[in-house]
Structure 1
Amino acid sequence: MAKAAGPSQPAVAPAQPHVFKLVLLGSSSVGKSSLALRYVRDKFRDLLPTVGCAFFTKDLSLGVTSVRLEIWDTAGQEKYHSVCHLYFRGAQAAVLVYDITRKDSLGQAQRWLQELRQENSLEDVVVMLVGNKADLGSEREVTFQEGKEFAESQGLLFTEASALLGDQVTELFTSVAQELLQREEQKDAVPQQGSPLPLDGAPTRQSKCCAH
């Protein structure tokens, strides 16, 4: 005899992903677009300079949590400089790119960081400094230590990567996403102004991430 089926269980709607806006900043030809293309499509090709801004999205899973990165790839050319401000306003994360074979590109990255500060409070923005073209070590003008020391002085995350080889590309974006998610969870855990205190009357305290 066939066994009667029990009541069907209601379908559980998948949780909506956490959506974060991320901008790629840096001077022309440091490889911002190549990093984005390698990360989103796992491809590499020589690209013409970005005109204005290009847009990518990438979904990733961090444990049981889904994250969607909305990646805005800004043009590094001077003639588009003023337009780029329109794209990185309100960004929650920035990947600040320089070319390890060009000393001047690290100096220009510092300028981009200052301009990001003018549009956003860096306390609210996760910034990863990336030395791209790590595969060209024989042509290096910026040492790993120089990049690391600058990042530490500004409270930034830091890594070197190679868009050509794909080295550390997925890892750098994943690290940014993890930091964004951690900050969001910490923010949600802190009572808003006017919210009741815990039952023991003790104020809660937000921990500060220091893994840079």
Structure 2
Amino acid sequence: MDDLNDTRSTNRTSQSFKVVLLGEGCVGKTSLVLRYTEDKFSNNHISTLQASFVKKKLNINGRRVNLAIWDTAGQERFHALGPIYYRMSNGAILVYDITDEDSFQKVKNWVKELKKMLGNEICLVIAGNKTDLEKDRTVSIEDAENYSRLVGAIHCHTSAKMNLGIEDLFLNLCHIMIEKSDKQTAEDVVSLNRSGNTRRTVIVDDEDVTLVEGSSRWCCTSG
């Protein structure tokens, strides 16, 4: 269970974040993770049982970022296990299927639960997946974006099948997690200086990373 809680940032050049994906079954959570981490896609749906865990290493503007990505099961019988996986998370990706209105309504329930349990510490991104099925859309773009603004989340459009919007989905979440972490670190330094305490820096080993440069920020809507 150590990996569940191994989430906090270390220093300003190397940071670790825990990200959890939540949403109904069959909305494409596992497909998004698989496309992002391995650039693979399968037309055969495989249900996630409880949760799966993968790591992704990035270099964002010279800063090493280590992501621990938790893909959770969407079936109702696993809902009660949610807190086990999203506790101590820095960011959450709430996924819905643009052709399934109910899956969008369930995202609202997850947002309420996350905010109740974690407050405003959690960084939120809402992803409307399966944009390759645009002609079958039942969730309006306007409704989804208005709701996302209301709860302080970024809204993205993605297609795991067509590999659209996925890099920006994770990159934009990384940006807001980094900003929140940096702000908290600055506040901690001020507080420690006032109290006269010193802070111990933990160094994360330098390993191979995936380089991300010149990426767009804050807008991750794809056709």
The question of a shared fold, defined as TM-score above 0.5 by the shorter chain, is answered with: yes
Q: Which residue of 2 aligns with 1:155?
A: 152
Match of 1:62 in 2: 60
User: How far did 1:16 drift?
Assistant: 7.0
- Residue 57 of structure 1 contacts residue 69 of structure 1 at CA under 8 Å; is this kept in 2? yes
Name the counterpart of 1:72.
70
% identical aligned pairs: 32
Q: Once the two structures are superposed, what CA deviation does each residue of 1:97-116 show, in whole Å capped at 9, x if it has no partner?
A: 00000011110111111121
Unaligned runs of 5+ in 1: 1-14, 198-210
Partner residue in 2 for 1:140: 137
> Any residues of structure 2 matched to 1:151-190 within 5 Å, and which?
151-190=148-187
The answer to whether the 8 Å contact 2:132/2:162 transfers is: yes
Larger relative contact order, structure 1 or 2 (CA cutoff 8 Å, min sep 6): 2
Moved more, 159-168 or 181-190: 181-190
Q: CA deviation at 1:17?
A: 3.1
Q: TM-score, normalised by structure 1?
A: 0.82
- Asked if 2 retains the 8 angstrom alpha-carbon contact of 1:144 and 1:160, the reply is no
Higher Cα radius of gyration: 1
Residue 36 (structure 1) aligned with residue 29 (structure 2): no
- Matched residue type, 1:40: T
Structure 2 alignment gaps of length 5 or more: 1-11, 196-217
Say if 1:85 and 1:167 are closer, same or farther in 2 by CA, change over 3 A. same
1:23 partner letter: V
| Shift in Å, 1:193 | 3.1
**Structure 2 residue 109 is matched with structure 1 residue 108:** no
* 8 Å CA contact retained: 2:95, 2:127: yes
Aligned to 1:7: none
Distance 1:111 1:71 in 2: 21
Aligned length: 184
Which protein has the bigger helix share? 2
